[in-house]
């Protein structure tokens, strides 16, 4: 099928208008009219995941993190991004990134994390503007309540059952009582102020800076960090599954070699 047909389904699963304004999403490399038969999802395009795609004769890589992310004035092998882009182009591989569009989608990463945690009354931390979506259940991040209060250890154990790869770190003592939680996958520490205004006891994210952890302590919000990779990569398997179910003639896989050691 044509690549454009695959892109249409991807944009139904994660509408690009749901992406943050600073993001670089959609088709980043490739010819929309080219025929494709194999696609692979991964969190990040690296030398490892790209070579895996080449060996598997993949024609489309759907990587969560955009490459390029910022505008490039040149594409040469002098930079890591340039090397990857040149290698992908030489191999005839298209690159697509849903990034924050998939974070914020109706069945996207933040929603999946909220369901894993068993939150009730799930809603966005910050609803989309009316010109983007009239659905008030959609927007940046997720916010919800636990039906029964849990400690930090209790929350982390609940996550670990669904995402065994998590690398747990947190502020506050493990007996910190959590009822109302905010969720921002990836790097969400910059949104602590918004969570404080929403009255959250805790925030689940992938990673945060030292100073953001200090801010969380001063705000009385437990910052629960499970690793950037762990907070997002599990949902790339789900994206592959959803894409496969809608396009049975397209072979869709998820990278088997992508790991995070830090």
User: What CATH number is associated with residue 200?
Assistant: 3.40.1390.30
State the average pLDDT over residues 244-254. 97
Q: Is 191 a member of any domain?
A: yes
State the average pLDDT over residues 5-10. 98
Residue 121: CA count within 13 A, CB half-sphere: 9
The two structure tokens encoding residue 35? 């025929």
pLDDT tens, residue by residue, 108-150: 999 999 999 999 999 999 999 888 887 888 899 999 999 999 9
Question: In which domain, by residue range, is 17 found?
Answer: 3-99
216 and 125 belong to one structural domain: yes
95 and 118 belong to one structural domain: no
119 and 217 belong to one structural domain: yes
Q: Is 238 a member of any domain?
A: no
| Closest to 62 in 3D by CA, of 50, 72, 70 | 50
pLDDT tens, residue by residue, 20-65: 999 999 999 999 999 999 999 999 999 999 999 999 999 999 999 9
Measured over the CA atoms of residue 86, residue 92, residue 98 and residue 99, the dihedral's sign is negative
- Alpha-carbon gap, residue 181 to 117, rounded angstroms: 9
Helices 47-55 + 80-90 axis angle, to 10: 10
pLDDT at 174: 86
């Amino acid at each position: 099928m044509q690549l454009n047909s695959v892109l249409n389904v991807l944009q139904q699963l994660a509408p690009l208008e749901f992406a943050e304004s600073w993001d670089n999403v959609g088709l980043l490399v490739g010819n929309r009219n080219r025929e494709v038969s194999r696609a692979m999802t991964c969190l990040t395009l690296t030398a490892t995941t790209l070579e895996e795609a080449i060996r598997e004769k993949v024609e489309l890589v759907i990587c969560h993190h955009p490459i390029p992310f910022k505008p490039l004035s040149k594409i040469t092998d002098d930079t890591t991004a340039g090397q990857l882009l040149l290698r992908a182009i030489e191999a005839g591989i298209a690159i697509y990134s849903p990034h924050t569009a998939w974070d914020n989608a109706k069945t996207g990463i933040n929603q999946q994390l909220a369901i894993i945690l068993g939150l009730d009354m799930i809603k966005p931390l910050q609803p989309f503007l009316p010109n983007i979506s009239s659905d008030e259940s959609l927007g940046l991040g997720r916010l919800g309540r636990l039906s029964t209060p849990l400690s930090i250890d209790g929350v982390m154990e609940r996550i670990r059952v669904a995402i065994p790869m998590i690398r747990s770190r947190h502020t506050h003592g493990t007996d910190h009582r959590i009822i109302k939680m905010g969720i921002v996958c990836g790097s969400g520490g910059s949104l602590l102020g918004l969570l404080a205004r929403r009255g959250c006891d805790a925030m689940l994210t992938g990673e945060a800076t030292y100073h953001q952890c200090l801010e969380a302590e001063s705000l009385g919000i437990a910052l629960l960090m499970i690793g950037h990779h762990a907070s997002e990569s599990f949902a790339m398997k789900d994206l592959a599954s959803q894409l496969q179910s809608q396009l049975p003639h397209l072979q869709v896989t998820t990278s088997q070699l992508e790991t995070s050691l830090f």
